[in-house]
Amino acid sequence: MAVTLRVLAACLALAAVVATGCSRESDADEARPADVATRDLGAASVQRDLIYAEHGTGALKLDLYLPEQRETRTPLIVYVHGGGWNAGVRTLNADSGSPESLTAQRLLERGYAVATVDYRLTGVAQYPAQVVDVADAVRWLQQHAGQWHLDADRIGLWGASAGGHLVSQLGALAGDPEKPGGGLTGIRAVVDWFGPVDMSAEAQLAHPKMQEYASKVVRQLLGCMPVECPGKADSASPIKNISGDEPPFLIQQGTADSLVPIDQSLDLARDLRRLGVSAELHPYEGLDHGFGKGPHNTLIVDTVAAFVETHV
C-alpha cells in the first residue's frame, strides 16, 4: 500500500484534540456550578480517576461518565484519545466545541455511559503496550459493570487519530485472543476517527527518505524501523490483522486530512467489506485532521449517534 511514511509519522506526532462543547441544558445542569457542568458533559454523575491498572511507570486511570440510570443495564462507549501515542490526555471538557466532547454529550443524552481511558505513551513503553492497556481498561470496566449498572455485553469502542488506530486494532483482534489485546468480548461496534491503520515495511520502502523526527517517532512506537522489524510493523497495523470476525465499523475522516492519508480509511473499509464485515465510511469533503469546529460537526455527531444506536 503506497502510503507516505513521512505523512504517517506526522500523524504519530499529532497532539490530541480533546477540547469539548457546551453541555445540554437541564434542571440538573442548572443546579450545578458552570465549571462542574462543563467538566461533567451533562452526565448525571462522574466517577473520576478510577485506577484500572498499575505498572512500574505509574497508575493507569479512567473517567466514567454516567447518564440517568434506567431499569435496564446501561451500554458503554469507551473513548480513546489521540496524540500520536506519545502525548494526549483522556480529559474531555465542554468548553470549546470539539467533536469529541459534542459526541460524548450526545451519547450521554441518549442513555449511554462514556468512559475515557489512559494508556501508556511511547515515552515509557513501546507497542503493544498501548493496545494492551486499552484492552485492560475495557476488561476492568466489564468486571466492575455491576457497580455502575453497566451492560458488559454492549460496548462500543471509539477513538480519534492514535486512538482510532488503537480501537481499530482491538476490533481487528477481537477474534484472536492469542494476540496482545485480542479476544475482547461484548464489543458491538468500533468508531474510528482518522486513525492510521498501516505501518508496514512496504510503506517505508515506498518512501525511503524520511525526516529525522519521523524516523524517531516510528522507532519510539515500534522500537525499530518497519524494514528492520516487518513482522512487528505488520502486527501493529490493523489492516494487516483483520479476519472477518470484526464487529461493525464506522470510519470517519476528512478528505483534506494532512496527517493521515484518506486512502488508509478507504482501504480499511474496502478490506473489511470484502471479508463480510459491516463497514460504514463517511469522508467529509475539505475537512482536515481532527475535523475542527463548525456546523459540520452536527453531521459527524449525528452519524456516530445513529451508528451506535443501531449496533450497541
Size of the chain in residues = 312
Helix-helix angle 296-311:99-109, to 10 degrees: 40
For 38-90, the pLDDT digits (tens) are 679 999 999 999 999 999 999 999 999 999 988 999 999 999 999 889 999 99
Three-state DSSP at 44 gives: coil
Query: Is 87:124 a contact under the CB 8 Å cutoff?
Result: no
**Average pLDDT, whole number, for the chain?**
87
For 294-312, the pLDDT digits (tens) are 999 999 999 999 999 999 9
Residue type, 75: P
In this predicted structure, what is the pLDDT of residue 158? 98
What number is the average pLDDT over the span 3-8?
43
Instruction: Name the one residue in this structure whose C-alpha cell is 449498572.
Output: 149
Q: Assign 201 a pLDDT band (cuts: 50, 70, 90).
A: confident
Q: Going by C-beta distance under 8 Å and a sequence separation of 6 or more, which residues neighbour residue 252?
A: 191, 192, 193, 194, 282, 284, 300, 303, 304
Helix intervals (H) in 41-109:
99-109
Name the phi and psi angles at 92, rounded to 5: -120, 125
Using alpha carbons, list the distances in angstroms from residue 63 to 67, 116, 134, 169, 299.
13, 5, 13, 22, 26
Q: Is the model more confident about 78 or about 96?
A: 78
- By CB atoms closer than 10 A (0-12, 13-18, 19+), residue 226 is buried
Q: Assign 226 a pLDDT band (cuts: 50, 70, 90).
A: confident
- In the chain, the percentage of residues whose pLDDT exceeds 90 is 73
For 246-259, the pLDDT digits (tens) are 999 999 999 999 88
Name the CATH topology of 5-311.
Rossmann fold (3.40.50)
Q: Is the model more confident about 249 or about 96?
A: 249
Structural domain boundaries in the chain: 5-311
Query: Is 79:86 a contact under the CB 8 Å cutoff?
Result: no
In this predicted structure, what is the pLDDT of residue 199? 85
Name the phi and psi angles at 79, rounded to 5: -100, 135
For 236-284, the pLDDT digits (tens) are 999 999 999 999 999 999 999 988 889 889 999 999 999 999 999 999 9
Query: Is 42:67 a contact under the CB 8 Å cutoff?
Result: no
Straight-line distance from the first to the last Cα atom of the chain, in angstroms, rounded to the nearest whole number: 32
Residue type, 215: S
In this predicted structure, what is the pLDDT of residue 84? 87
> How far is it, in rounded angstroms, from Cα 265 to Cα 269?
6
SS3 annotation, 116-144: EECCCCCCCCCCCHHHHHHHHHHHHHHHC
- Judged against a pLDDT cut of 60, whether residue 125 lies above it is answered with yes
Q: Assign 28 a pLDDT band (cuts: 50, 70, 90).
A: very low
Q: Assign 13 a pLDDT band (cuts: 50, 70, 90).
A: very low
Diameter over CA atoms, the chain = 59
What number is the average pLDDT over the span 212-225?
77
> How far is it, in rounded angstroms, from Cα 225 to Cα 217?
10
What number is the average pLDDT over the span 114-134?
97
- Judged against a pLDDT cut of 70, whether residue 16 lies above it is answered with no
In this predicted structure, what is the pLDDT of residue 212? 65
H or E element at residue 220: helix 212-222
In this predicted structure, what is the pLDDT of residue 214? 59
